[in-house]
Amino acid sequence: MRIAIVNDMMLAVEALRRALVADGRHTVAWVARDGAEAVEKCEADTPDLILMDLIMPGMDGVEATRRIMETAPCAILVVTATVEGNSTRVYEALGAGAIDAVETPALGKSASMLLVKLDLIERRIRASRPEQPAAERPREAANPATDRPAARFLAALGASAGGPAALADLLAALPADFPGAVAIVQHIDAAFVPGLVTWLGQKSRLPVAEATDGSIPEPGRVYVGGGDRHLTLDTNGRWRHVSEPRDSIYLPSIDVFFQSMALNWRRPGTAVLLTGMGRDGARGLLGLRQAGFTTITQDRASSAVYGMPKAAADLGAAVHVLPLDAIAARLHQLAGDALRTGQTNS
């Protein structure tokens, strides 16, 4: 990939440059010392990926990400010195359209995590290219649930680039008496999940927590999947994090969660595919629609990155295509209707 570096610290630029050169598969397109220079250079020469610092003089990485996604959109990986110190800005940048975040490798130290991220991002970029729908596999029968979850309705939300801001707005619009459980699968590094939970909890009137293996979805609560494994529902409708499929280019995978929901959720529910790059979640959403669940995608105008919702729309996976500010109200309506009638379609 042709990769641009945006960072005002020469040591950080050199560490990133050395990591890219040593890997041998990538080239440095250009270097910018602040956000404004990055926006200008990106319009003139859009790279495959930008390694974006957050704290810079003048225009910071959050605003630069926002403007690049408006004028010359491309993949952006946030590179930050510390997770804890810059967590709020990380989520703001992810909300503006960045696809992931990683800590800055130090000179003379391993850049293995950065290189892993680059490999995954390159595979995501390739996967974002349109493809012909494949024939759906027959849905396997699930074992009967032996222990019913407490929640009688589940709203599943999948998101990637632009997701944190979209999720924050959506959760803020859900009422405190929302009768269902909410599951969130956001493409994000595991190191940032605790901070994301805290940040979303500050925006939501519902309590937000990481999904704990073996626990049940409870009504009026929001659950966030861990970033190092795939969140699923087991045959008893309980949260489980699993490592398979190991070759998935998305971790956690929205498709994996949606597929487990289609197989193992025995009560009413709705799935929503929000802003994001690539195609993750599209096939899983189609499977949920075919299984009788109401499905929703975010519309083009309100999406920071109209990749995953478009892929789902191309497959005919969405019952509803809605602007972000209309999704919470529809979820509340669907949850109320489903609990009264037992139906999931509308």
Catalytic site residue from 187, 260, 302, 303: 187
Q: What is the mean pLDDT of the chain?
A: 88
The CB density around residue 100, as the number of other CB atoms within 10 Å, is: 22
Tell me which residue of 107, 77, 98, 2 sits closest to 46, measured CA to CA: 2
In which band, very low, low, confident or very high, does the pLDDT at 62 lie, cut at 50, 70 and 90?
Answer: very high
List 160, 204, 253, 260, catalytic entry: 160
Question: Does the structure show a pLDDT above 70 at 342?
Answer: no
Range with the lowest mean pLDDT among 34-48, 137-151, 317-331?
A: 137-151
Name 113's Cβ contacts closer than 8 Å, sequence gap at least 6.
102, 103, 105
pLDDT at residue 129 in the model: 56
Active site residue 280: yes
Residue 260 and residue 246: Cα distance in Å, rounded? 16
Which pLDDT belongs to residue 142? 34
The reported pLDDT for the residue numbered 140 is 33
Predicted pLDDT at 83:
61
First and final C-alpha spacing in the chain: 45
Q: Has 241 been annotated as catalytic?
A: no
- What does DSSP say about strands 75-80 and 269-273: parallel, antiparallel, or unpaired? unpaired
What is the structure's pLDDT at 31? 97
The pLDDT tens digits of the residues spanning 146-204 come to 344 468 999 999 999 999 999 999 999 999 999 999 999 999 888 888 889 999 999 99
**Residue whose entry in the numeric block shows the structure tokens 């605790």:** 194
User: Over 80: is that where the pLDDT of 139 sits?
Assistant: no
Rounded mean pLDDT, 72-91: 83
Lowest mean pLDDT among 25-34, 35-44, 133-142: 133-142
The predicted pLDDT at position 112 comes to 81
Q: What are phi and psi of 289, to 5 degrees?
A: -65, -45
Q: If we measure between CA atoms, which residue out of 180, 20, 183, 203 comes closest to residue 114?
A: 20
Residue 149: the pLDDT is: 46
- Both structure tokens of 149: 């979850």
- Mind listing the domains of the chain with CATH numbers? 2-127 (3.40.50.2300), 154-341 (3.40.50.180)
Half-sphere exposure of 222 (CA within 13 A, CB side): 29
* Tokens found for residue 158: 């999948």
Asked if 332 is an active-site residue, the reply is no
Give the whole-angstrom CA distance, residue 109 versus residue 106: 5
Per-residue pLDDT for 127 more than 90? no
Residue 333 in this model has a pLDDT that exceeds 90: yes
Cβ proximity of 186 and 230 under 8 Å: no
Percent share of the chain, pLDDT over 70 = 90
Contact 29, 3 (CB under 8 A): yes
Mean pLDDT within 29-50: 96
Catalytic residue among 53, 189, 280, 299: 280
Paired tokens of 188: 């994000």
Task: Cis check for the bond before 138: say yes or no (omega within 30 of 0).
Answer: no
Q: What is the CA radius of gyration of the chain?
A: 20
DSSP symbol at 123: H
Asked whether residue 25 carries a pLDDT value surpassing 80, the answer given is yes
Containing H/E element for 330? helix 324-341
For the stretch 303-306, contacts whose Cβ atoms lie closer than 8 Å and that sit 24 or more positions apart, written own/partner, are 303/162, 303/166, 303/274, 303/275, 304/69, 304/95, 304/96, 304/97, 304/161, 304/162, 304/165, 304/166, 304/275, 305/69, 305/73, 305/97, 305/99, 305/160, 305/161, 305/162, 305/275, 305/276, 305/277, 306/275
pLDDT at 322 over 90: yes
Does residue 269 surpass a pLDDT of 50?
Answer: yes
Cβ neighbours of residue 63 under 8 Å, at least 6 residues apart?
35
Single pTM value for the model: 0.82
Q: Is the dihedral of CA 302, 307, 308, 311 positive or negative?
A: positive
105 φ, ψ (degrees, to nearest 5): -70, 140
Of the listed ranges 15-24, 77-86, 90-99, 139-148, the one predicted with least confidence: 139-148
pLDDT at residue 4 greater than cutoff 90:
yes
Residue 226 pLDDT level (bands cut at 50, 70, 90)? confident
What pLDDT does 195 receive?
A: 87
DSSP state letters, 242-274: E--STT-SSSS-HHHHHHHHHHH--S-EEEEE-
